[in-house]
Each structure stands twice: as structure tokens, then as C-alpha cells.
Structure 1
Amino acid sequence: MAICLVFYRYIIIHSGDSWRYWNLPSIGGEASYNWLDFFGTGTYFMYWVNYPFSQIGGLGYLSGTLLYGSLSYFGFLLAFDIVNSTFTKPSKKYIPQIALLILLFPNVHFWTAGVGKESLLWLGLMLVLFGVQRFPNKLIFIPIGLFLSLMVRPIQGLVLTISVLTALPFHKILSPYRRKLIPVAVFLIFSIFAYRYILGSLIYGFNLRWIGDILEWQNQYLASFGGASAINMNDYNWLEKISTILFRPFVWESKDFWTFAAGVENIFNLAFSILGFWSLYQLKFQFKIPLYLWTVLAYGLLLSILFSLTLNNLGIIMRMKSIYFPFFSIIALHLYYEVAKEKLEK
């Protein structure tokens, strides 16, 4: 809740989409709006959700910030519960504590502390992961989380749906039905890709060229804003693109407090990544992680690839990856946990 005040102060000074999501009268030329006029996906969904509180209830932006902070706080409660139950038999007592401390990394708290899509996306992701981990008893959490993610940012909702379809058939409870479930999951995943292609083709034409054109337009659109953290991703090779998404800004790229804080956190992310690869080598490349971590791993990798094609600003990259990136470090720590457990058993 303290970070809510930091986020509030940041938006008051620097402005941003968050202010526009809450203060609807500041957009467009019309003097009044109807609540139902805003129902839709993406930004319209944010307007629709906020309208009863900001326009009918008359709550100010600070109240909205605290409200969204409370929603994401519930997501953190789910996250702590999920992670805490993951390391049930620690071979080294400090491992579960470190896993919980990873959830205190500031980047995810900052971007989910106020009015914005990341708050709802974080909550949606945690609902899905909680449902996967407690499947089938908490199955209802999965469609709720997917629906919320799809409404807030459809592309991320579709990626999360693909991740769930990829992981869930391998749940041990579903093993008797796996031969039937996997073809169904593959068909649904293919249907999602076909849906996105047809949706775009109806506007731009039935070819593959429009996909590259859209990516190029996105890069030019973001570059038009300029900014100190703008980068030219078009000149990077694939290794540079992925490393930028995962580990930049580096500390030596710091230009102010915010980029320095991001750089320090990325040092920890890099350290955990090295630990994870070392642990994977010790395990002879056996990826022993719970199913919910497989889900968020697929989600994070797919989004990282997508972001490497569409983003060219380090500040936006830190925001967009904030909701899934802490789990990359938790995955690395879990691999080390498996190494420690094997050594103890020997």
C-alpha cells in the first residue's frame, strides 16, 4: 500500500495512461458518456470498470489507486500461497524464504500498485496459476482469470489461454484422458492462431505480409514518443533482442533513480538465471518444476518473444514483463531446490 502512494506520486508528476483510465472526462470531445458505451476489450474495458467508481461514485484518483492496489494485493496473497506450498519439504531451510522474497521485487509491485492494466493482468494470472495448482478443486479460478486477462489485454489473454492448454493436459489427475485431451488442446491452440490470423486478414488482406507491417508500425509508433529509454531493437540480432527483454536496463545504463532501480533488480534476475542454468545442468537437463510453473514459463517465454518483436523502449519493457518475470527467478530457485534435494537423498 506504501508503493501505491509512490505510484500515485509518479503519475501526478509524470502523467501516463493510468490517469486517463480513471479520469474519463479528460478524453475525447464529448461532455458526457453512458457507462454501457465503454464496454469492450482493452482500454475500453478499463473505462467500463472505472466508470461506476470515478464518474458515478465520484472517487478521486488517489482512491482509485488504492482500490487497484487492493486488487493486486489479493493477487499477491494468492501468489504467496502458491509459492509457499511449492517448497513443502525444503532440503535447505532458507530456500522457501528466498522464494517468497522474490515476490517482493519492486518492479511488479510498482506497476500493479495503481490504476492500470498490469494490476488486473497480475490478478488474472494469479487466479489462473492458483486454479492450475489446485486443480480440479479450484478449477473455477482458471476461466475467471482467463476472462479477466482477455478483457484487459486480449493478446496476453490468448497467450495465457495457450499456456494453460499446453500445460493442463499433463496434470497427473488427467493422465487417464491424456491421449484424448492433447489433440483437443492442439486443436484449440491452432484455432486461436487461426482466429488471430483471420481477424487481421479481414482488415489487411489474406497474406503474411501484413503481420510484418503491423510489427513495423508498432515499432515506429513507440519510437515516435522518443524518451531516454528508447532503443533501436530493429538493429539487434535475436540474442540481443531476448537479452534486452530479459535483463535490460543494465545498471551502467542508469540515467535516474528509476532506471537504476530497474538495473539493480535485473542483476538479481541475471543471477537467478545463471543459478537456474547451473541447476539444470546438475539435473542432467531434467526440468523438474510444478505444473503451474510450466504454465507461467510458457506464458512468459511466449510474451518475451512477442515483446522482442514489438517493443523498443526499456521503460515499457520493464512494465510489460513485470507480471510474469518474478516467476522466472522462482523457477530457477526451484531447480536449485531439486538439486539440493537430490544431494540430500544421496
Structure 2
Amino acid sequence: MDSNTFSNILQAIFLIPFFYSINQYIFKRLKHTHSFFDTGLMNKLFFYHLFFGGFYYIYAVFNRSDSHRYFSAPQKEGKAWLDYLGTETTIIDFFSYPLINGFGFSYEMMMMLFTWIGFLGFVYAYLFFKENIPLKVKVFKKVDLLTLILFLPNMHFWTASLGKGAPIFFGLMVFAYAICKPQTRITGLVIGSLVVFAIRPHVFLILAGGAVIGFMSGNNGVSWQHRMVFCLSVVSGLFMVQDQILAVVNLQNSENLIGDFVEFTAARSASLDNAGSGVNMAGYSLPEKIFTFWFRPLFFDSPGILGLFVSVENLIYLLLFLKLFKRNFFKFLKSAPVNVKMSLVIFLSTSFAMTFVMSNLGIIIRQKSMIMYFLFFVVYYFLASEKDNIPNLQLKVANSNARLPEAA
């Protein structure tokens, strides 16, 4: 290790007290609006996430990582800041440009910053779960489900580096938290929507669709007039940005969307299949593709040592998913609130879309991390409803929220 790298690492470490101080301010405000907020748990989660930030940094030293590209791209000669304003990869470059070129952030400092952004995603995931499900649920006899979900290693690994993983997870969780009370959390709803749209426009399409279906079918006590206004607003917004969404798969000028999409996914899947950890998903049935996206690698096809650790986590995913296989699940789903139906639609529709594109286990491991929490929310709410019926759960949530001022 040369002296320059050592100096950069020290500078990144010196950012930790700064981010920790910001965390305490955020936690204090959240504690004021949410009596259940556990500052001690979040501080533990912060240092746990930092560990994976350090682990990913070491991983990136010895392996290919997109984080190096995200650091070097904004430094290209002849490129101005506004040249990077766009969606997907370029929006990360746009965000990084002033920090790298103006404030002199090193690669290590950028990694630390994005690790912190990823951590904030977990804070909002905690709020999303805890606010809507006030009951503690144990799985595997004595393991607290929420704690298990928050500390799953793979979720932290892929949200602790410079790239799209950390901010997209942050945007999704802010959106999930804000959509529960859109009237009073409009700022969070806008921020979450913009972040998701800027990084992955097609995921925003699915997110918006899930919100519409959830609001139209959910048991939320919202009048039909308000539901229609919300849905029309979402549809109008999607219409305005349709070109950016279709451009993700090069369909902005297509005259045959379905045919061209099938052609694109076939080509994309074939290109990914050429990678070292590719799987021949082209010959799989739809159930096999879905299973691969959700639960593989699973020991027998683990790509390396890291894959073995991922396999353990995938086994946990599978065991949690199997808890939905009960007769009363569909009865539960019929009377479930908006956020449950929204989460299920987002999870299933994203999974369905991804299975036609993904054929590389390494990419599958990384991509699915952004949506697994929506499945976990459905599982958590279902298990909680078995302990207490849905009306009682909603009443407890309402009573808890009524005692404190509303969060913005």
C-alpha cells in the first residue's frame, strides 16, 4: 500500500465521526415523531454497515468492481458537470462530479459516502416495517424477524459502495415509507420517486404501478375520489417520462413494443450468459427462472467463496418465503392494506421483468437486493396477522401514530 492510498483511507475514516453526528441528529428527529424508534439498534446497524463498506473496499481491490468506473468517469477531460445530467449510470456521475472535482474527494471518501447513503436506506426500511407492524414476530423458534431482516449480510454488501446500489435502495425505502401517508410525506415521496427514476427509470415504472394497484385495491380507508386523483397523477407522470423509461431498453422509437422487448431481453440475456457465472436461463421454464432469480445460488452452484455465504442467505430467503404457503394467505391478501399489496406487486412484477434479462448469478445476487425487502414486508405482515387480525393491527398503528406529531 502506497502512502497516497493510506492517506486516502485515513481521510475516509475521519468521515465516520461526521456521519455519526449527522445520524444522531436524524435519529433525534425520528425519535420525536416515532416513539418506537430504537437509536441504539440503529447505531449498531450503522457500524455493522460500515464493516461491509470496508469489506467491499477490500473486495474491490482484488476483484473487478464498477465502483472504480464510477470514480474515474467524472474525471474525464473535456466533460462539464451538466454533461452528466441524465438517468441511470450518468446520474451517479452527475452527483459525484462536484465532490470529486470540486471538493477533492478520493475514491475511498466516495466509497464511505455511498456506504452512508446505503445505511440511510436501512433506516427507512426499519421505519417502513416498524411503523406498519407494531408486533414482534419470531421465526426459527426464537429469532426476531425484523432484526434478522435488518442484518442480512448480502443486503449490506451490495449497498455499501460507490455505484447505483446504495442510492437506489435508499430511494426505494424512502418511497415505501412515504407512500404509507402520502398526504403528509410528500417531500419524502418526491425524493424517493426522483431518486428511483433517475437511477432506474424502469424500476420507477414498476414502483408507480405497484402504488396504483395497491391504492386501488387496498383496504386503506381512502375515498374513491382521492384514489382516482392519486392514480391519475401517477399515470400522467408516467406518460410524461415514457421516453426515458422506454429508452432503458432502446424502445423509445419502437412501433412493436412487445416484439422489440422480447428481442432485447433475448440479446441481453445472451450477453450476460457469456460471463463467468452465467446460467442458461433461456431454456428454463418461467417457474425455474423465478426460482433462480429469488433463491440462487444455493450451495450447489455457488460462484466462489462469496457465493457460499450468499447461499446461506438465499436459504433464509427460501425458508421465509415458504411461510406464505398456508391456506389463509389468500384470505389475508384479500383484506390486506395498501402497503402489503403494493409490496407484493412491486416484488412480483420486478422479479418477472428481471428473469427475462438476468442470466448471470453475480448480477442476480446484486440486482435482487433492491427488491427483497418488499417480499420480507409481506412475509412479516402475514406472520403478524396470524398473531393478531388485520383490523387490530391497523388500529394499533393508528393509535401509535396519533400520539405523536407527523413526520415529514
Residue 346 of structure 2 corresponds to residue 296 of structure 1: no
Aligned partner letter, 1:276 = L
Specify which of 117, 138, 155 is matched with residue 164 of structure 2.
117
TM-score, length basis structure 2: 0.74
**DSSP-derived class of the 2:263 partner:** helix
Give the superposition deviation at 1:213.
Answer: 1.6
Specify which of 382, 386, 391 is matched with residue 335 of structure 1.
382
* Residue aligning to 1:316: 363
Residue 110 of structure 2 corresponds to residue 68 of structure 1: no
* Residue aligning to 2:80: 34
* Residue aligning to 2:42: none
Give the superposition deviation at 1:298.
Answer: 1.5
Give the superposition deviation at 1:99.
Answer: 1.9
Structure 1 residues 128-167: aligned runs within 5 Å:
128-167=175-214
* Residue aligning to 1:258: 306
Structure 1 residues 81-230: aligned runs within 5 Å:
81-90=127-136, 97-169=144-216, 170=218, 172-177=220-225, 180-181=228-229, 184=232, 188=236, 191=239, 200=250, 203-206=253-256, 208-224=258-274, 226-227=275-276, 229-230=277-278
Alpha-carbon distance between aligned partners in 2 of 1:79 and 1:219, rounded to the nearest angstrom = 31
Report which stretch shifted further, 174-183 or 312-321: 174-183
Report which stretch shifted further, 54-63 or 159-168: 159-168
Report which stretch shifted further, 46-55 or 198-207: 198-207
**DSSP-derived class of the 2:359 partner:** coil
Alpha-carbon distance between aligned partners in 1 of 2:349 and 2:240, rounded to the nearest angstrom = 14
Contact 1:159 1:299 in 2 (8 A): yes
Alpha-carbon distance between aligned partners in 2 of 1:181 and 1:95, rounded to the nearest angstrom = 45
Give the superposition deviation at 1:175.
Answer: 2.1
Aligned partner letter, 2:70 = Y
Structure 1 residues 90, 183: CA separation in 2 closer, same or farther (over 3 Å shift)?
closer
Alpha-carbon distance between aligned partners in 1 of 2:354 and 2:68, rounded to the nearest angstrom = 24
**DSSP-derived class of the 1:321 partner:** helix
> 1:213-232: per-residue Cα shift (whole Å, max 9, x none)?
211221122233x21x2101
Give the superposition deviation at 1:71.
Answer: 1.0
Specify which of 221, 233, 238 is matched with residue 286 of structure 2.
238
Contact 1:146 1:157 in 2 (8 A): yes
Structure 1 residues 201, 43: CA separation in 2 closer, same or farther (over 3 Å shift)?
closer
TM-score, length basis structure 1: 0.87
**DSSP-derived class of the 2:133 partner:** coil
Report which stretch shifted further, 89-98 or 6-15: 89-98
Aligned partner letter, 1:269 = Y
Contact 2:205 2:238 in 1 (8 A): no
Contact 1:311 1:317 in 2 (8 A): yes
* Residue aligning to 1:54: 100
Report which stretch shifted further, 120-129 or 139-148: 139-148
Contact 1:102 1:330 in 2 (8 A): no
Alpha-carbon distance between aligned partners in 1 of 2:252 and 2:94, rounded to the nearest angstrom = 27
Give the superposition deviation at 1:44.
Answer: 1.0
Aligned partner letter, 2:58 = R
Structure 1 residues 215, 303: CA separation in 2 closer, same or farther (over 3 Å shift)?
same
Aligned partner letter, 2:259 = R
Aligned partner letter, 1:118 = G
Consecutive unaligned residues in structure 1, runs of 5 or more: none
Contact 1:80 1:100 in 2 (8 A): no
Structure 1 residues 23, 183: CA separation in 2 closer, same or farther (over 3 Å shift)?
closer
RMSD: 3.0
**DSSP-derived class of the 1:156 partner:** helix
Report which stretch shifted further, 91-100 or 152-161: 91-100
**DSSP-derived class of the 1:115 partner:** coil
Aligned partner letter, 1:166 = I
Contact 2:208 2:234 in 1 (8 A): no
Contact 1:223 1:230 in 2 (8 A): yes
Consecutive unaligned residues in structure 2, runs of 5 or more: 1-49, 393-408
Residue 54 of structure 2 corresponds to residue 8 of structure 1: no
Contact 1:249 1:262 in 2 (8 A): yes
Structure 1 residues 192, 319: CA separation in 2 closer, same or farther (over 3 Å shift)?
farther
Contact 1:74 1:123 in 2 (8 A): yes
Contact 1:90 1:341 in 2 (8 A): no
> 1:93-146: per-residue Cα shift (whole Å, max 9, x none)?
999932232121111111111111111111101111111123322122112111
Alpha-carbon distance between aligned partners in 2 of 1:259 and 1:162, rounded to the nearest angstrom = 33
Alpha-carbon distance between aligned partners in 2 of 1:95 and 1:181, rounded to the nearest angstrom = 45
Structure 1 residues 120, 84: CA separation in 2 closer, same or farther (over 3 Å shift)?
same
Structure 1 residues 132, 92: CA separation in 2 closer, same or farther (over 3 Å shift)?
same
Contact 1:231 1:312 in 2 (8 A): yes
Contact 1:23 1:54 in 2 (8 A): no
Report which stretch shifted further, 197-206 or 17-26: 197-206
